[in-house]
Amino acid sequence: MIMLGDKFTGKQKKDFIKRNKHKKGWIETKYLRSGNMSSLETRELAKLICKNFNIAFDNQLAFQDERYRICFELALRDQMIEELDLFDDSVLMHPA
């Protein structure tokens, strides 16, 4: 069983932080440079950075969700989390 982040090297983590730490607001996968990584792998690495380093936080969704975002502006954390709309509109379309 592979744990979250076991597949990422220290260099990948450092490079990810270096490339993205200056970005403002919620950042989605397509704006997080990831080299040869897929969007899913990029979100997984972002989740790992949020979990293990005190430099970013996420929008509290699973990294598998395409709506997953991170933010490096720690001073705005409470405000940005408060303003999140975590309601999934797709439940309104479900046949059940």
Lowest mean pLDDT among 20-34, 45-59, 63-77: 20-34
Q: Confidence band (pLDDT; 50, 70, 90) for 33?
A: confident
Lowest mean pLDDT among 30-39, 46-55, 66-75: 30-39
Q: At what angle do helices 39-52 and 10-20 cross, to 10 degrees?
A: 90
pTM for this model (two decimals): 0.79
**Average pLDDT of 41-51?**
95
Per-residue confidence (pLDDT) for residue 90, from 0 to 100: 62
Burial 13-51 (b: 16+ CB within 10 A, else e): beebeeebeebeebbbbeebebeebeeebbbbbbbbbbe
> What does pLDDT average to over the chain?
86
